[in-house]
Structure 1
């Protein structure tokens, strides 16, 4: 008879990323989009203990969650549990004990002797009655499963020397790797690799995700990420001053059309075109704005460019606009309430004048690509023009290269960079990438997780700029519009899901995503 599976009515999986929720477990139905830094997570633990929950109970529940996932996902096979000197190691001792009690062959290695452990980790180590071997860089034989309980999300130093050799041996092994909290070597706050890191197939974390689970390169090391409730009450969140979230439809509401509304109620998004040899990017943005639901979309540019557009579009309006003065005059019509500049615009003084004219208007403004690069040598002029808008919606959508031209390369977490840039510029910053970060000038930010490698294709960012513009035209606030557009953009690529996807494919996928969201959140 095989080993019994773990049964615990208390420990539920809240959310899964990658592999989803495992069979046989309950999935709790409420938003879990708060992200906690390691320091905030440590405070959450302390607040739970101060509220009467024993710290040993929290550790037991954490180990129980990991052991359960092992028994549910894998057949009976040898397990190696590698324990570090802190609470992460304590969790590992719980996993080893629970699996061993259920008949799994378990071997435990530790970076220190049992006698060197303290606190809850020492208590859990004493409850493990099997041998504990000191681990170095040697190969540990054949194990079907390796449980990484070396270091948690609070790792504050690089992994070097023999431990680095151990990580290399684990990564070279054929075993399935299950990480407790976060793969050892990944900074839980920034997602950075601290020297080297374990490549996990599954990560089980607790209470709330950490930024390092979502930010690259850390996200690449986590494998499937499951979030377990270990008994920390949600009430502790009120004391954590959380400013970082995972992008989620619970954070924003999409515009709704009134039964008696007309097209101008849904706004008129103007997209500024490049010259006649550079029209494609602006057209992609225009299609993004149309599919996002803007009541009207206008492509504006010089006459030769409009002749090219006229051969390609029907539902999009065309209007002549040769320079910044002409744009300023166009935007005196308050019905044109949003303008997207940058895709295919060209770099230089004419582009700068267009941008400054748009920023001087009452319209919401999306600045992308060439609109940003045109201010690479004069970023303060751009920021001053944005700050003079007195809070009128402005969104900047740089990739990392464009970001560096305006704000400098700098170090630190991507979230910190985006939040700092938003504060400096006064604009909402959407810093693109596999882990797109959207930051508000007031200091809050989200990390978008709907991205896919399919979006690494020319023109995808132009569609994103248009999606933002289409939502802004419908009077969505700038931060919410940027968050929603990033989420929808990724979902559209996921819905296409096939190699060979090009940016032109994305706008047509958007209506189905909007319909799904309308049903899910009606």
Structure 2
């Protein structure tokens, strides 16, 4: 599990480390600059072949007299008025030491820089030029470094900053290597949203950040601007729970009741989140792994339920039954084998079937259809207070009056809306989410999902490449299908139905709602990556054996 940080949390961790006396701000800045240069050379090894100067080291206390112009690759380093700019000055010095031709543009008054940034500015003062937008826009170089504002940006940058940087990519020079330190300029690191709707943010090939990724690297528009994200260790391990860091974690979103610490951490779901209970023990049998029930729509609308049922069975539910209306019995029977089939006539029929207490997980929504019958089925299912996944039509049906649904929901439920379904149930939250981001921290998908889960009183899984999962008490995680886990072929009809089935199967096996949602979402992406391009929804459940094998389950 990787804990993602807000900008405020990261600042607090840095301050805690500096206050401890075990490290100085200058040392952290030096480590950051070294990490950026190392990441650049790892990403583009050809840039590391520049002539190397004599071994003068990287001591930040050196005077600027040793800076001499040498022939070599050219770098343009764009520095801002804060400590992010200080990191940029270190990068400029290190590249210059390796015989690069380096030009530094400073946005702001050098005499107003923070103390550590000012020290590093003075070491490269001969390379620094004033910020002239027209001149920057015309620059050519093998490498551009964006060290203007970083992760601490809280408002829309001036056009004189964004315009020349975005122009570098608007005039046919699409192969310029742009590296962002902490965050591309213009991107809110608490929400992943661009502050400026006109210019967006600065697009980067590579974003290098420190200690831990930020929340904003994995939600919203982040992947569009960050390119790749590299995280560099600068020696802050062990300082997360110091006094200032703890206060920042508790204060985030105003929760200072002494219980806010765990609630405000955002986890990035990874293989370490997966429960060892995914594996089945040798002495177990089908009845020890639960019985899932998936309700089918009427004739011509049965495929989605079968996809969900197949997903539930493949992920390990002991038994799975499709509950079908009479009109669709033949259609379902022709295509089901290991999955059982039962005829259900409306809400009364469902209540009758659920007298079988061995059925311990329900899935309603995929292909269920819209109308009073769907609402009656959902209410009948919720009355039983068993683990329940509500997706698709089971959510859309309550668009006219979502409160009817919220009153009936319970803590064993998981809602799995995509953006459209989320908007139907939580119109006000979507309105906040789609408003232009003027200042930070901007309202984010994490905020919206947390608010939705609190309102619904159950786990909400808000689907997308940046799937967010939240509980009513604020616990939150992101399952990312971005960067090295990018799987755009999941954008195919029926993939969400399979995800609903995966969650249902895990609930049947006894997983808690949050654990089931996180595990299912992660395996859903793994299955897409296992198959690759050309994926259709039917392929997803069939990748589970290979995925489990790779996970040594």
Q: Tell me the residue number matched to 1:230.
A: 234
- Number of paired residues? 483
| CA-to-aligned-CA distance 1:83-105 (integer Å, 9 cap, x gap) | 00011100000000111112122
Q: Secondary structure at the residue paired with 1:80?
A: strand
In the alignment, the residues of structure 1 paired with residue 505 and residue 385 of structure 2 have an alpha-carbon distance, to the nearest angstrom, of: 16
Q: Tell me the residue number matched to 2:446.
A: 415
1:396 paired with 2:415, answer yes
Q: Tell me the residue number matched to 1:178.
A: 179
In the alignment, the residues of structure 2 paired with residue 346 and residue 428 of structure 1 have an alpha-carbon distance, to the nearest angstrom, of: 23
Q: Tell me the residue number matched to 1:278.
A: 301
Quick check: 2:220–2:466 contact (8 Å CA) kept in 1? yes
CA offset at residue 516 of structure 1? Answer: 1.9
CA offset at residue 113 of structure 1? Answer: 3.5
| CA-to-aligned-CA distance 1:322-352 (integer Å, 9 cap, x gap) | 2112112211211100010000001121111
Matches within 5 A, 1:92-491: 92-138=88-134, 139-172=137-170, 173=173, 174-195=175-196, 196-237=200-241, 239=246, 240=249, 241=261, 242-253=264-275, 254-387=277-410, 391=411, 393-408=412-427, 409-411=430-432, 412-450=443-481, 452-491=487-526
Quick check: 2:39–2:230 contact (8 Å CA) kept in 1? no
Quick check: 2:291–2:320 contact (8 Å CA) kept in 1? yes
In the alignment, the residues of structure 2 paired with residue 209 and residue 379 of structure 1 have an alpha-carbon distance, to the nearest angstrom, of: 36
CA offset at residue 129 of structure 1? Answer: 4.3
Q: Which runs of 5+ in 2 are unaligned?
A: 51-72, 250-260, 433-442
CA offset at residue 237 of structure 1? Answer: 4.0
| CA-to-aligned-CA distance 1:155-213 (integer Å, 9 cap, x gap) | 11112321121122233344201110011111000000111211100111001111111
Q: Tell me the residue number matched to 1:46.
A: 15
Q: Tell me the residue number matched to 2:527.
A: 492
Quick check: 1:144–1:175 contact (8 Å CA) kept in 2? yes
Q: Which runs of 5+ in 1 are unaligned?
A: 1-30
Quick check: 1:332–1:361 contact (8 Å CA) kept in 2? no
Q: Secondary structure at the residue paired with 1:82?
A: strand
Quick check: 1:170–1:198 contact (8 Å CA) kept in 2? no
In the alignment, the residues of structure 2 paired with residue 72 and residue 137 of structure 1 have an alpha-carbon distance, to the nearest angstrom, of: 30
RMSD (Å), alpha carbons: 1.4
In the alignment, the residues of structure 2 paired with residue 336 and residue 181 of structure 1 have an alpha-carbon distance, to the nearest angstrom, of: 49
Q: Select between 179-188 and 372-381 the one with higher mean Cα deviation.
A: 372-381
Quick check: 1:337–1:362 contact (8 Å CA) kept in 2? no
Scaled by the length of structure 2, the TM-score of the pair is 0.85
In the alignment, the residues of structure 2 paired with residue 135 and residue 332 of structure 1 have an alpha-carbon distance, to the nearest angstrom, of: 73
Q: Tell me the residue number matched to 1:22.
A: none
Quick check: 2:157–2:186 contact (8 Å CA) kept in 1? yes
The runs of at least 4 consecutive aligned structure 1 residues that moved more than 4 Å come to none
Quick check: 1:255–1:476 contact (8 Å CA) kept in 2? no
Quick check: 1:83–1:89 contact (8 Å CA) kept in 2? yes
CA offset at residue 214 of structure 1? Answer: 0.6
1:517 paired with 2:536, answer no
